Amino acid sequence: MSTIRDVARQAGVSVSTVSLAFNTPERVSSETRKRIAQAAAEVDYQSPDPVAQTLSSGRSQLIGMVQADISNAFFGKLLREVELHAHARGYLVIVSDSNAEFEREEKILRHLASMRVAGMIVSPCGLNEAETAHLHDLKTPFILFDQKHEGLSCDFVGTDNQLASATLTEHLIQLGHRRIGFLGGVEGLYTASEREQGFVKTLQASGLETDSELIVDARYTYEGSYAQTRRLLALENPPTALLACSNVMSLAALQAIRDLGLDCPGDISLTGIDDVPWMHMISPQITVVVQPVEAMAQATARLILQRIEQRQSGSEPGTDFTDTIFPPILQLGQSVAQITRT
């Protein structure tokens, strides 16, 4: 059976560096962590089995992770990074997809609690207090990711969503666009509300009128974005640019533009929030703001492990919960054109 020394030898680093990568990954560079992870796979190094450790110590080594749409590339990248950090500390991540249904989410969380998982990472889909009541009742340590709910006593990790949409809106305005269509997410959902606020506030700060006809609920889905894009572009006075609130929605908008026989960005400019791994292969490459998934995953893993260890030591969490908010990053593509008309 391979040991930590075999991993160090294969990776060309010291044993202490491997130990740091496994136990406190935030102290090791991303490049070194990836080299160590690859070396561990090459020598078939196996960390202690989480289930066996639970049986022998009475402490669970399982972390539950509940997402609304695991097929979305954003959540896939998050899972990969969280698993890397959790595995290094001897934890196994169990992933469940709520399909954005709060009843299903409630059942999943109840089932995870019955399995006595050590902690949970949840991206909740409920829109109001009644739909998130089950989160108030959780006895298991948990943190919220992406979707925030006021009134819940827990840590939160997310992006500055208002800044994300504001950055794209300002970029479009600077290039001469005055009629901008907004393809929003599910009305009432935290990220959707924040992104719409960022859009509206930026228009108002620039002295532009907010046309409610151009702000639509595209449900964070491909089908919703495709249909709403076609409807916006069929208006008597259509927008000159679109802002889609997710990677799936921006791809759907681009498909709708093409199916209408229009050119992007010649006839209509397009921007979006988040990318997909193959975005550079799409023509035109879409101008987007992206969330720093690796840094967000590190913060998520660090916080949930901190809460788990706090609970296992017998300490109460108190009120020292934190909101960890990351700024988005603008990535310019070729999907936006400058215009002179108003």
Blockwise average pLDDT, block size 10, the chain, 342 residues? 86 88 72 85 72 54 92 86 86 92 91 90 86 86 92 92 98 97 94 97 96 96 97 97 97 98 98 90 95 93 91 74 96 94 52
My answer on whether 177 and 259 are in the same domain is yes
The structure's pTM equals 0.82
Q: Tokens standing for 141?
A: 């340590």
**Range of 206's domain?**
161-291
My answer on whether 98 and 18 are in the same domain is no
30-42: pLDDT as tens digits: 788 888 888 888 8
Identify whether 67 is part of a domain: yes
11-24: pLDDT as tens digits: 999 988 888 777 66
Q: At what angle do helices 30-42 and 4-11 cross, to 10 degrees?
A: 120
Q: Is 238 exposed, middle or buried (0-12, 13-18, 19+ CB in 10 A)?
A: middle
Identify whether 232 is part of a domain: yes
CATH number for position 222: 3.40.50.2300
My answer on whether 66 and 174 are in the same domain is no
My answer on whether 136 and 30 are in the same domain is no
Helix (H) or strand (E) holding 217: strand 215-217
Angle at CA 278, nearest 5°, toward 267 and 326? 90
Cα gap 155→142, rounded to integer Å: 8
Q: What is the pLDDT of residue 87?
A: 85
My answer on whether 233 and 322 are in the same domain is no
Cβ pair 249, 219 in contact under 8 A: no
Using DSSP's 3-state secondary structure scheme, residue 271 falls into strand
My answer on whether 252 and 225 are in the same domain is yes
My answer on whether 184 and 274 are in the same domain is yes
My answer on whether 81 and 136 are in the same domain is yes
Q: What is the pLDDT of residue 191?
A: 96
Q: What is the pLDDT of residue 56?
A: 45
Residues with Cβ within 8 Å of 284's Cβ and at least 6 positions away in sequence, in order, are 264, 265, 333, 334, 335
Q: What is the pLDDT of residue 115?
A: 85
Number of structural domains in the chain:
3
